[in-house]
Amino acid sequence: MESWVIYALLDALAAALATILAKIGLQNVDSITATALRSIVMTVFAVSIMLYFRGVAYVGRITSMEYIFIILSGVAGGLSWIFYFLALQKGDTSIVAMIDRSSILFIILFSLILLHEELTLKKAISVALIAIALYLLII
């Protein structure tokens, strides 16, 4: 099995745990405060991992254009977390998570438009099935 597949599966496992733990933690905490606290923990954790494996020198090699896109990605990720926690606080965990994971529909659309990736038959069928599943969940 390719290493990226293992990383993707570990990502899915960690995301599932994060969702369940967040739902439990959100019972008496407003979602924006919880998102801010989660961001602090993730920042400390990510910086620690970066320093351990890469050190500080690697940061100096990042170009200004890369910084811009990383910052924009961070803003989009922060908005995603805020909206996710708002939905998670009020909605059914499994449905909120399923809708959140349907971001793959937007990812495929943006990858076609912005990254000029190919729309294969397999991707098109997957998009249709995800869209149908999402529709069935929210009707």
pLDDT in tens, 53-79: 999 888 889 999 999 999 999 999 999
Q: pLDDT-based confidence at 138, cuts 50/70/90?
A: confident
| Banded model confidence at residue 1, pLDDT cuts 50, 70, 90 | confident
Q: What is the pLDDT of residue 23?
A: 93
Tokens in use for 45? Answer: 């954790």
Q: How far apart are CA 13 and CA 19, in angstroms?
A: 10
Residue 33 has pLDDT above 90, yes or no: yes
List the structure tokens of 2: 């390719």
pLDDT grade for 139, boundaries at 50, 70 and 90: confident
pLDDT surpasses 90 at 39:
yes
Torsions phi, psi for 76 (to 5 deg) = -60, -40
48: left (phi over 0), alpha (psi -120 to 50) or beta: alpha
pTM of the model: 0.82
**CA–CA dist 136, 139 (Å, integer):** 6
Please report, rounded to a whole number, the percentage of residues in the chain having pLDDT higher than 70. Answer: 100
> What mean pLDDT, rounded, does the chain reach?
93
